[in-house]
Structure 1
């Protein structure tokens, strides 16, 4: 599969007996890249991540991880294969310390040396995690809590991290800080598949953009080119940017 690390190919998926939400959806996530999915409400963005994380079995299509078949794997198997999910909203345990939250990400890891190595790694990638290591997670700001969630997801050394609306509920300053940390994850060697309602900010961060509509990719390409397309801006990105 060349540089493609994570592939969803011609996926059809939905809920119960209802019509499919994804109707021939395909995306390739290359190594060392941030791929963002944007589009209107109801386009199927969150359903993509549920399929990718093994939470929803596709009706048809294929999932490949580094060229290996992963179609139909459940969430634990997907995590073991290197696919980690960071949920929408805040999922830290507020009455636990930052350290305790982060260590939970390594609950499947038995090698203490490996755990220590990953702790050192996430502290380097996310300085706020190191700075607030002994603090209660509930005392951190929303943007800082999101960084704790990112650090927790990296404890298993995943190949790709799935991010569902990481800026939800954050003010503009915190949103900027969170997207800076998404770039740090990418630069540290983890590919990212990102779903984000803040389409412009996501495309400014991403390497590749995909616009979803009616359950399939309407257009994809370098994120910078999608941002520069005035017609695309009017249709999907909330009009022209303010200058």
Structure 2
């Protein structure tokens, strides 16, 4: 049955091994055509949410639904087939391979060469540096450019939702700004995004909706602009209030 949300995590409890639960009844919804960002202190469970959504970690209880279909308990390969593409924290390009080889790896399950060519043309248009450096060795690209290669690779399976874990990690301010611009381009091209980011203010400036996590639960959620404007949330979770005239 179709749903108004592309991705729903309902009342998720999850943890690692026999350790205490990291997620304690967490519910997150990702509507079509939206960027939803998860922010909160270290240890709140942000990256664990993405691991549950992508099938890397099976929840102890709760449901994962994609377009209304229950996909709880499926492994990463089947979650990918369901339309969830996960861009991991840090850099995951194969440095000795070309940009083209890295991107086309994302389509290794696609048998139709015409479809692969069409999607490659799409990502080269969406991320111009990918097209410009198509034949370059990926390890020669800057950190921000490598992240765009990862974005392009994730779109080669035409996902419904891209899960992004700390895309600005290790990047300078200019590269960070470019990466967030590309996140918006992904959304505008029709792919929903679930974003985890330590740079909470910058993430909320980019997102449509925000969820503040604390102790494994959603503390508050709503339009990202409302969360940014809430002075109490700013003090508790967003690193205090920005200086006058400062938005980042």
Instruction: Tell me which interval the TM-score lies in, with the shorter structure as reference length.
Output: over 0.9
Structure 2 SS opposite 1:31: coil
- What is the rounded CA distance, in whole Å, between the counterparts of 1:2 and 1:106 in structure 2? 27
State the 1:16 CA deviation. 1.1
Structure 1 SS opposite 2:193: strand
State the 1:3 CA deviation. 2.3
1:13 equivalent in structure 2: 14
- What is the rounded CA distance, in whole Å, between the counterparts of 1:119 and 1:234 in structure 2? 44
- What is the rounded CA distance, in whole Å, between the counterparts of 1:139 and 1:228 in structure 2? 40
- What is the rounded CA distance, in whole Å, between the counterparts of 2:58 and 2:233 in structure 1? 31
2:191 equivalent in structure 1: 190
How many residues were matched structurally?
243
Is there any run of 5+ residues in structure 2 with no aligned partner, and where? none
TM-score calculated relative to the size of structure 2:
0.97
TM-score calculated relative to the size of structure 1:
0.99
- What is the rounded CA distance, in whole Å, between the counterparts of 1:191 and 1:138 in structure 2? 28
Q: Deviations over 1:197-243 (max 9, x none)?
A: 00000000000000000000000000000000111000000000123
1:87 equivalent in structure 2: 88
State the 1:185 CA deviation. 0.2
Q: State the 4+ residue runs in structure 1 displaced beyond 6 angstroms.
A: none
1:104 equivalent in structure 2: 105
Structure 2 SS opposite 1:4: coil
Q: Deviations over 1:169-192 (max 9, x none)?
A: 000000000000000000000000
1:71 equivalent in structure 2: 72
State the 1:19 CA deviation. 1.4
- What is the rounded CA distance, in whole Å, between the counterparts of 1:93 and 1:20 in structure 2? 34
State the 1:2 CA deviation. 4.1
Equivalent runs, 1:37-52 vs 2, <5 Å: 37-52=38-53
- What is the rounded CA distance, in whole Å, between the counterparts of 2:159 and 2:240 in structure 1? 36
2:26 equivalent in structure 1: 25
Q: Does 1:127 align with 2:121?
A: no
Q: Deviations over 1:87-108 (max 9, x none)?
A: 1010001111100000000011
Q: Deviations over 1:42-98 (max 9, x none)?
A: 000011011000000000000000011100010000001110000101000111110
2:225 equivalent in structure 1: 224
- What is the rounded CA distance, in whole Å, between the counterparts of 2:229 and 2:136 in structure 1? 43
Structure 2 SS opposite 1:36: strand
State the 1:134 CA deviation. 0.7
2:181 equivalent in structure 1: 180
